[in-house]
Amino acid sequence: MTEMLLAVQQPFDFQECLVFLSRSKQEVLHVTTPDTVRKLMRIGERLILVELQGEQGHIRVVFPVDDVSEMEMESIERGVRDWLDLDRDLTPFEAMGAEDELLAPLIEAHRGLRMIGFPDLFEALTWAIIGQQITLSFAYTIKRRFVERYGEQRVVEGRTYWTFPRAERIASLEPEALRELQFSRRKAEYIIDIAQEITGETLSKSALQSQSSTDIRQRLLAIRGVGEWTADYVLMKCFQDASAFPIADVGLHQAIQHQLGTAKKPTIEEVRRYGESWQGWEGYATFYLWRSLYGNV
């Protein structure tokens, strides 16, 4: 069995990350146990099953059934580090949050949680668009249908593991194909358009990464179907922008209300005022507030 050990910027808590990854029983792109998470990763043309285990401030990466080359290991390490935001120094966030009435108890309770994201731009945009104006539960249902129809699979020890559909596979579809999965017509059109842009190389994460957050946001907003919430969400979860702030997010408002114990949700202006004290860490503040909504799973 091949494996490698990844050093992680402290503070880091693998169990806290597992709680987040375990929050929906409908998740189809990774499989958790109380101590591990398994994910099928595409490296070149290979589908490699990866298992992550926590180990005293490190992550042990195990390949249960594959022989993996050094080059593949390097790609997998980059993918894992991006997925779990492992290279982030959270010390400044913790220092800021310790003085904040909303964040202080969350940071104390969930110290070491990372802003877990979507390294793949097509997956991040598709998931954000799927989730627009529907319940989280229904969004997961649609994602599962989409992945099981158009993703790639591998069966290991009787369990099926999936990868997110490739943009190339979706670009050639007609909207009716996604309508069968209960996508709205508009969302079907948006996602196919995005797949075509990515396939046509007029939209790419690598090209955007060299730009400022403001410029990335403007490019995302130029995509049909991407509004301010979606752009900010993708900045957070795909580009690892710790300052991205999805200020209109319903879950964020619920979490603030929950933390304050008030009868009414905050207004946008009230959320904006809270965000003034989170400058540079708005994305992490949002992520920790979301964490307060799903208990210990």
Q: How far apart are the first and last CA of the chain?
A: 31
Burial 255-279 (b: 16+ CB within 10 A, else e): bbeeeeeeeebbeeeebeebbebbe
Count CB neighbours of 237 within 10 A.
Answer: 23
Cis peptide bond upstream of 11, omega within 30: yes
Residues 41, 24: Cα–Cα separation, whole Å = 20
Phi/psi at 196 (nearest 5 deg)? Answer: -70, -40
- Residue 31: beta bridge partners? 38
Using DSSP's 3-state secondary structure scheme, residue 55 falls into: strand
Active-site residue, 241 included: no
Set 120, 232, 241, 249: catalytic member? 249
- Report the largest interatomic distance among the alpha carbons of the chain, rounded to a whole angstrom: 56
Single-letter residue type at 52:
L
Residues 224, 283: Cα–Cα separation, whole Å = 24
Paired tokens of 162: 């999936």
Using DSSP's 3-state secondary structure scheme, residue 84 falls into: helix
Residues 3, 130: Cα–Cα separation, whole Å = 35
Rg of the chain taking only CA atoms, in angstroms: 19
Are the beta carbons of 275 and 282 closer than 8 angstroms? yes
Any idea which residues carry the catalytic annotation?
A: 249
